[in-house]
Amino acid sequence: MLRHSACLSTIVLASIALLLSPLCRADVCPRQPVRIGYEPWLPYTYQADDGSYTGLDLDVISRVLERLGCQYDYVERPWKRLLLELETGDLHLTGGASLTAERNIWGAFSVPYRDERVELLVRKGTRDHFGKVDSLHAFLDKGFSLGHTRDYFYGDEFEQVSRLPEFYHLVQPGGDDLANLHKLEHQRMDGFLTDPYSAAAAIRTHGLNLRVTPLLTVYRSDIHVLFSRRSVSNELIVAFDQQLELMLKSGELQQLISQYLNED
């Protein structure tokens, strides 16, 4: 009874201040801590040297959940397994997700909280070597090899060209950005697809003697928090969206993003 009364008082204060949603915030949280799935990916999701979990995506998610009064835990998973556990409901949500028709079958998406672009990166100083390249198809058609990280979505064009039999030997899946950067550094591939901020963070963190430059922007997309429909209520999704929109209107969200993305 005390918890219910306190929550009603919170609603009254929030309505006056116009800072919080009209929902009873504690009531939208699951009984167990929210399980946030993540795969280490600088600068979006990672564990700092002091053991804390941070990064742009994790900071946004944790800030919203704290305002909703939800407890949460972080669960590290490879991206493919992470998506499977969201589908089954073993995880509640993850960040950094593009909206796809396949994921929309079993998942729900927040309002966008940042955007993403995927670039075809090559070694700095080699752009002239590739001539005129205005598409991934043109890049591969010239016989250049293309790296990417397994199980990530790089846009419709990549989905199409990566399935063409004539390009099978040129498309090289890798484990992560670091693996692809090493291949690029040692000239075992001509270019690879990635988020440019992720690549810059990996180069800085690992002290690589490599400089890269974009040859082509192949994809731009809104980025969302992805919820499991099996384990997350519609009420939580609505309340989560309301908090994101408040952070967007106040400028708080952009300020947080700038801390991570204006370093390069």
The pLDDT score that the predictor gives to residue 202 is 87
What is the residue whose two structure tokens read 């890798």? 174
Enter the tokens of residue 74: 């972080």
CA distances from 29 to 57, 74, 241 (A): 20, 16, 14
Enter the tokens of residue 181: 């950067």
Helix (H), strand (E) at residue 104: helix 101-106
The pLDDT score that the predictor gives to residue 260 is 76
**Domain residue ranges of the chain, discontinuous segments joined by +:** 29-115+222-261, 116-220
Cα angle 113, 31, 253; round to 5 = 15
The pLDDT score that the predictor gives to residue 201 is 85
Where b means 16+ CB within 10 Å and e means fewer, 21-47 reads bebbbeebbeeeebbbbbbebbbbbbe
The span from the first CA to the last CA of the chain, in angstroms, equals 52
Distance CA 236, CA 234 (A): 5
The pLDDT score that the predictor gives to residue 25 is 55
Beta strands 191-194 and 107-109, pairing class: unpaired
For the domain spanning 116-220, the CATH number is 3.40.190.10
Where b means 16+ CB within 10 Å and e means fewer, 117-131 reads ebbbbbbeeeeeebe
Comparing 29-115+222-261 with 116-220, is the CATH topology the same? Answer: yes
In three-state secondary structure terms, 112 is coil
pLDDT digit string (tens) for the chain, length 264 residues: 333 333 444 444 344 344 444 444 568 999 999 999 999 988 999 999 999 999 999 999 999 999 999 999 999 999 999 999 999 999 999 999 989 999 999 999 999 999 889 999 999 999 999 999 999 999 999 999 999 998 888 989 999 999 999 999 999 998 888 999 999 999 999 999 999 888 888 898 889 989 999 999 999 989 999 999 999 999 999 999 999 999 999 999 999 888 876 544
CA distances from 200 to 12, 43, 79, 177 (A): 46, 9, 20, 10
Amino acid at 263: E
On whether the CB atoms of residues 133 and 142 are closer than 8 A, the answer is yes
The pLDDT score that the predictor gives to residue 153 is 84
Enter the tokens of residue 140: 């591969």
Distance CA 72, CA 66 (A): 9
The pLDDT score that the predictor gives to residue 96 is 94
On whether the CB atoms of residues 26 and 236 are closer than 8 A, the answer is no
Q: Which fold has domain 29-115+222-261?
A: D-Maltodextrin-Binding Protein; domain 2 (3.40.190)
